[in-house]
Structure 1
Amino acid sequence: MTTTRAETIAMAAIAISGVLWGVFWIPLRALETSHVTGVWAVAYFQVLPTLLLAPIILFRIKSILNGGTSLLIGGALAGMSLVLYAGALIFTDVVRALLLFYLTPLWSTLLARVTQGEPITKLRLVTIVLALFGLGLIIRLEQDFQIDMNVGDWMGLASGVIWAFAAVRIKSNGPGTGIDFTLVYFVLGSAFALALTMLPLDGAGTLPSLDAIVSVLYWMVPIAIVLIIPPAFALMWGATVISPGLIGILFMTEVSVGAITAAIWAGEPFGVREALGVLAITTAGALEPVYSLLRSRKSAA
């Protein structure tokens, strides 16, 4: 497989994973009706896939340990980021959580420029401007640039910043380490999610009963196998192949899916302003991959 082909596959995998994670909020919030509430729902979503992956984790433990500090730091940052993102989906509106997290292309692009010398192209600047424009529309950024931020909003913002650091760290390790990064992400993410349950957050929920935990396994296990684990592997592998800034832009497919499904099933606002915001962000996410594909076809011809 050539590098170009690997990058094309990575871009497609990440974009599709974004679509799948666009409905991630639905089962996460569904746990609320089953008495697995607040940050305990976040912990459930992290711990269950980790337990399902336990045989693979044990099989690759030597490889993980050989990965050293860099692997552990990258996996820990990824785990912290995506746990905070899941928390944001609990504590604030779905669309606000999505878009505050998806400021990450800005942080990732700047970090990749500083740490890896990656050039900031004109096309990348256009995608960032479009994404920020869409973000401003949806969160209704007023002329005085004041935003009323709750704890969920801060979680969403922090998760995007932390993911930028995680993506740069993962990319610096290069191809071939995606599986181990994913496994470390699940293990250390589980530890961080459990630690989050100890914080005195309003609406954090209480420790669910064993009956409540068991009662949702029949639908949570398939969701973990289909909706959580494969996109995580695609994301972590893709992070070893393509640039951190591009990952964030590609994953913006989640914004469109999340905004539309939240409007339909959660009753969140979705008018002309929100539609224009989603259009701007979706366009930003599509520009660079489409341009790359067209350039590859032109070169091949």
Structure 2
Amino acid sequence: MNARLLPVAAAAPGLAVLALTLNAFVWGVSWWPLRFLQAQGLHPLWATALVYALAVMVIGARWPQAFGQVWRAPVLWVLVLAAGSTNAAFNWAVSIGDVVRVVLLFYLMPLWTVLLARLLLKERLNRWAALRILLALAGAAIVLKPPDAGWPWPSGLADFLGIAGGFFFALNNVMLRREAHRPQEARALAMFLGGVLVAGLLAAVLSAAGAVPLPPAPRTAWVMVALALTGGFLIANLALQYGATRLRANVTAVVMLTEVVFAAASAVWLGNEVVTPHMLLGGALIVAAALLSALEPPHPR
């Protein structure tokens, strides 16, 4: 969800892996402060807009030239939309739904990446891509299948948001590859700015329609948590940049899958959620598709 901001330098691989694991941990447990903020009356959409607005101010203060770079590159607004939709959907989903289920559906992104890479990057479909699609679809069908009977279909808003979040994250990653020649700070600002604009606009529209409550008056409890969440996301961003610029892309992708573990463990421990056998099986297939995506050998476009 972030761009690389730090220069590449020699570093111990173990430290880079630790940095990526920290990033995965922050995102894996982010549902907990988001639910706290929701309990305080701050809807996840408003919370996302607020937290990312604070992050944009920090990034803008450090790289002020990034605003002009984004403004002069209309294609980066696709990245704004993709990153903003990812964060709005994911943060809303984990605040209202089963955390493990949402994270697994979010990690269907290898399926969307195959399709988007074919459409936007003109990458050819091969047997590896076909296998990833089959694994991801099989895992999704198992996760979504009702316990009694019926078709495997999203059963509520959280399911749809989790799937949408994964799709837009795949679009985010494909656009980062397509626009890799753009300044790094511009890509980073575009993604954080997306969290402000997409979540903020959606929150404003839904609040005007009476579907989402307006933000409550500032109170010490939720303001401090919002500030802490902002700091956590910024630290996670820096950790991602540190690790991702020092490790191969496939290693980064594999390490980032630990987010599923952190999300599941924290949901069981803090949220009293139950991981069922069918969810474990479906999750294993989805994670296998993601691993296959990370370990796939390079092939010509």
Q: TM-score range by the shorter chain?
A: 0.7 to 0.9
Q: Which AA in structure 2 matches 1:271?
A: T
Q: Give me the whole-angstrom Cα distance separating, in 2, the residues matched to 1:244 and 1:87.
A: 28
Question: Is residue 190 from structure 1 mapped to residue 192 from structure 2 by the alignment?
Answer: no
1:114 partner SS: helix
For residue 51 of structure 1, report the CA deviation from its aligned partner: 3.3
2:218 maps to what in 1? 211
8 A contact 1:178–1:238 mirrored in 2: no
For residue 134 of structure 1, report the CA deviation from its aligned partner: 3.4
Structure-1-length-normalised TM-score: 0.74
C-alpha deviations, 1:15-34, integer Å up to 9, x for none? 66334311111111111233
- For residue 186 of structure 2, the aligned residue among 170, 180, 202 is 180
1:22 partner SS: helix
Change (3 A) 1:205 1:101: same
Q: Give me the whole-angstrom Cα distance separating, in 1, the residues matched to 2:210 and 2:101.
A: 18
Aligned residues: 285
Change (3 A) 1:241 1:279: same
Question: Is residue 168 from structure 1 mapped to residue 174 from structure 2 by the alignment?
Answer: yes
For residue 57 of structure 1, report the CA deviation from its aligned partner: 4.8
Question: Is residue 140 from structure 1 mapped to residue 145 from structure 2 by the alignment?
Answer: yes
Higher helix share: 1
Question: Is residue 156 from structure 1 mapped to residue 174 from structure 2 by the alignment?
Answer: no
Question: Is residue 80 from structure 1 mapped to residue 69 from structure 2 by the alignment?
Answer: no
1:107 maps to what in 2? 112
For residue 61 of structure 1, report the CA deviation from its aligned partner: 2.7
Q: Which AA in structure 1 matches 2:116?
A: L
Change (3 A) 1:238 1:281: farther
Q: Which AA in structure 2 matches 1:257?
A: F
For residue 211 of structure 1, report the CA deviation from its aligned partner: 2.5
Question: Is residue 70 from structure 1 mapped to residue 75 from structure 2 by the alignment?
Answer: yes
2:178 partner SS: helix
For residue 146 of structure 1, report the CA deviation from its aligned partner: 3.8
Q: Give me the whole-angstrom Cα distance separating, in 1, the residues matched to 2:152 and 2:295.
A: 35
8 A contact 1:23–1:261 mirrored in 2: yes
Q: Which AA in structure 2 matches 1:195?
A: L
8 A contact 2:67–2:189 mirrored in 1: no
Change (3 A) 1:80 1:287: closer
C-alpha deviations, 1:176-233, integer Å up to 9, x for none? 6333212122223212211122344899542233333x5334343343223x124446
Q: Give me the whole-angstrom Cα distance separating, in 1, the residues matched to 2:78 and 2:157.
A: 25
8 A contact 2:110–2:289 mirrored in 1: no
1:297 maps to what in 2? none
CA RMSD of aligned residues (A): 4.1
- For residue 270 of structure 1, the aligned residue among 271, 275, 286 is 275
- For residue 24 of structure 1, the aligned residue among 23, 30, 50 is 30
1:216 partner SS: helix
Question: Identity over the aligned pairs, expressed in percent?
Answer: 25
Q: Give me the whole-angstrom Cα distance separating, in 1, the residues matched to 2:169 and 2:121.
A: 16
C-alpha deviations, 1:3-48, integer Å up to 9, x for none? xx9xxx9999766633431111111111123332343333333333
Change (3 A) 1:217 1:208: same
For residue 275 of structure 1, report the CA deviation from its aligned partner: 3.1
2:260 maps to what in 1? 255
Q: Which AA in structure 2 matches 1:103?
A: L
Q: Give me the whole-angstrom Cα distance separating, in 2, the residues matched to 1:100 and 1:86.
A: 13
